[in-house]
Amino acid sequence: MPDFLRLNQGYLFKQAAGWQAQQMWCEVIAYELSFLFNVAVPPAFVSIDSSSDQAGALIELFYPYPAAKRTIRLVHAADFMQRNFAGGSKGRPHALRENLVICRALGAPDPLRWWARAILFDTLIGNTDRHSENWGFLIEGTQDARHFSLAPLYDNGTSLGYGTNDAKLANRWDERQMTAYLAKGHHDIGWSKNEDGPTPHLSLCVRFFTANPGLMEIAAAMLTFTNEQVDEIVEWAAQFNVPVLFQFARGRFISDQLGARRDALREALKL
């Protein structure tokens, strides 16, 4: 067994079909990028289901296997929000300020710093899907003495321009094309329940860090990675011969996205 896989550990085999198939690579690459940003993400590996010869991402669960031995469980943030959701609007409102209130009420350690990293991570990878079932809490202990912490950032596949088809990537995008594309990127969350709805990636970060200038050092540290470090990751990914290939041109596209988002964040945050 490869040394990065562990016995008595649960894994999730995650696949997406058709035009979403590249999401498996986004999971794997987001995990590799997490080391550059110093953000906790569950390990995600390239894998093949040998019974069907299909490729997917193998994602390490937050708890061991078999389930009977579980001491930790994941609870979606949505489970603590049901009463807040407006009738007829699935999962909304869903906003940063109320997310922080829930984290504090449950006693999760350091929610402000956690969200600082989360919104920067989602901005850097262009994730558009951090809805209230795509973040949550790990609960340990017994009913009487439960301990809540924020789970590592899972479900990172809806990112990195996964839906852009190969034909559009044949020629490298120029700065104008990339800038126009990045401007369309948004978080799933709003700022507050009164200002709910998907919010542009950059503007949510600017608002959050302007309101919390003491956290700017987190942003500064997360935005120090180099283009070469990202190139190394995407070049590594392009070497795998699996049923869902990761093309060189897609790697270049991802690397260009990361560099452009880092530079735009630095400028917007005056770093």
Ligand X SMILES: Nc1ncnc2c1ncn2[C@@H]1O[C@H](COP(=O)(O)OP(=O)(O)OP(=O)(O)O)[C@@H](O)[C@H]1O
Select from 13, 21, 40, 62 the one that contacts ligand X (CB under 6 A). Answer: 62
Report residue 22 as tokens: 């590249």
- Residue 42 touches which member of ligand X, Mg ion, none, C-beta under 5-8 Å by kind: ligand X
Closer residue to ligand X, CB minimum distance, 153 or 237: 153
* 108/77 Cα distance (integer angstroms): 12
Q: Could you tell me if 203 and 144 are in contact, meaning their C-beta atoms sit under 8 angstroms apart?
A: no
Closer residue to ligand X, CB minimum distance, 4 or 167: 4
Among 24, 42, 58, 169, interactor with ligand X by CB under 6 A: 42
Lateral strand order in the sheet of 72-76: 72-76, 136-141, 146-150
d(CA 37, CA 30) in angstroms, rounded, equals 10
Closer to Mg ion by CB, 153 or 258: give it: 153
Question: For the window 81-110, what string marks contact with ligand X as x by the rule CB under 6 A?
Answer: ------------------------------
**155 lies in the site for ligand X, by CB under 6 A:** yes
Can you tell me which of 36, 40, 72, 74 binds ligand X, judged by CB under 6 A?
Answer: 74
For ligand X, the binding residue among 21, 36, 61, 206 (CB under 6 A) is 61
Closest CA to 198 of 87, 95, 115, 86: 95
Instruction: State the binding string over 112-151 for Mg ion (x if CB under 5 A, else -).
Output: ----------------------x-----------------
Q: Does 240 bind ligand X (CB under 6 A)?
A: no
133 counts as binding ligand X under rule CB under 6 A: yes
Q: Rule CB under 6 A: choose which of 31, 115, 154, 191 binds ligand X.
A: 154
Residues that bind Mg ion (CB under 5 A): 134, 155
